[in-house]
Amino acid sequence: MSKPSILVARAIFPEVLQSLSQVFEVESNQADEVWSAAELTRRMQGKVGALTTGSERIDAALLQANPQLRIVANMAVGFNNFDVPAMTAAGVLASNTPDVLTETTADFGFALLMATARRVTESEHYLRAGLWTKWSYDMFAGSEVHGSTIGIIGMGRIGQGIARRAAHGFGMKVFYHNRSRLSAELENQYKATYVSKDELLKTADHVMLVVPYSAESHHTIGAAELALMKPTATLVNIARGGIVDDAALALALREKRIAAAGLDVFEGEPKVHPDLLTVPNVVLTPHIASSSISTRLAMANLAADNLISFFTKGKSLTPLNTVVA
């Protein structure tokens, strides 16, 4: 019996490709070309499954052109590149990679917070430029992290990982805002207090964004929200581009209306708003919050296992929708 055909849309760990090849006829993209929507649609022809990353858009047009498709497994926890209702309507199962990246991503949230508050990259650029000639009492004096107040917007798995580190590792006061409140037990565990978004923005020393992207969360932080923040505050975005209005943020940073920002994700990435590249008080990283070797491997394996399990056992491990077979 011939193996089902799948597409692996981007380069992936060779050992994961190897395990997929045991079960599937695989078309891969180890050259890691970034395909246009038309090219992705064309490559999808004849494939019953696909492994994608957050960069590939699965929408109604692609689904219509590929009625044979049955499952798309995203190698990401975020899935705003999927039109899930359109996938459900087309009978295509969608899956993502939750849990395996929670702690690694929360670690990186803290890495960005520390680098931002303590001006790590700004001071490194100064040193590399040969500008360091003497020690000074206030050189690159930043803001305190331990004992300060963190405001977390989005209290899902990663938000809770940040809260745990903040409360128990850094003795921080934890405020959070979320669509729904945590149970009293979880609030106790993270020593977290639920507040309105405005109160959080007005009181936090450090604001951390960990909310999924959707039409409702578009520009969760824009000019009006930045105006509520303290001039000494920092903002960290490890969620998605589009959660922050990057142009408004660049202006607020330039005018020192907030102290600094740390960004792992950008509107229209991999393009970065040019104004962010010229303000010194921002730490910029290329969407790497989940990128430890073992976590990226675990994500790739989970995406692959979703495909394998769907075709061998009739169900995926971490589905986002229910489809009728």
Choose between 113 and 289: whose C-beta lies nearer to ligand GLV: 289
Q: Enumerate residues 35-54 that contact ligand GLV by CB under 6 A.
A: 54
287 is catalytic: yes
From the candidates 119, 177, 269, 273, which is the catalytic residue? 269
Region from 11-19, 70-78, 215-223, 271-279 binding ligand GLV, contact rule CB under 6 A: 70-78
CB of 312 to ligand GLV, least distance (A): 25
Q: Quote the distance between the C-alpha of residue 145 and its chain's center.
A: 22
Residue among 69, 77, 92, 113 that touches ligand GLV (CB under 6 A) = 77
Q: Which amino acid is at 240?
A: R
What DSSP element (H or E) covers 36?
A: none
CB of 188 to ligand GLV, least distance (A): 29
Write the DSSP string, 154-223: --SHHHHHHHHIIIIIH--EEEEE-SSPPPHHHHHHHTEEE--HHHHHHH-SEEEE-PPP-TTTTTSB-H
Residue 98 makes contact with ligand GLV by CB under 6 A = no
Closest C-alpha among 123, 108, 144 to residue 230:
144
Write the DSSP string, 214-265: -TTTTTSB-HHHHHHS-TT-EEEE-S-TTSB-HHHHHHHHHTTSSSEEEES-
Residue sitting closest to ligand GLV (CB): 78
Instruction: In whole angstroms, give the CA distance from residue 297 to residue 16.
Output: 8
Cis peptide before 270 (omega within 30 of 0): yes
Choose between 290 and 306: whose C-beta lies nearer to ligand GLV: 290
Q: Quote the distance between the C-alpha of residue 243 and its chain's center.
A: 11
240 is catalytic: yes
Q: What share of the chain is helix, strand, coil (3-state, %, to 5)?
A: 40, 15, 45
Choose between 107 and 199: whose C-beta lies nearer to ligand GLV: 107
From the candidates 10, 165, 177, 240, which is the catalytic residue? 240
Residue among 78, 91, 156, 222 that touches ligand GLV (CB under 6 A) = 78
Region from 4-12, 71-79, 221-229, 244-252 binding ligand GLV, contact rule CB under 6 A: 71-79
Q: What is the DSSP letter of 4?
A: P
Region from 74-82, 111-119, 142-150, 222-230 binding ligand GLV, contact rule CB under 6 A: 74-82
Residue 76 makes contact with ligand GLV by CB under 6 A = yes
Give the residues lining the site for ligand GLV (CB under 6 A): 54, 76-78, 101, 290
Catalytic residues: 240, 269, 287
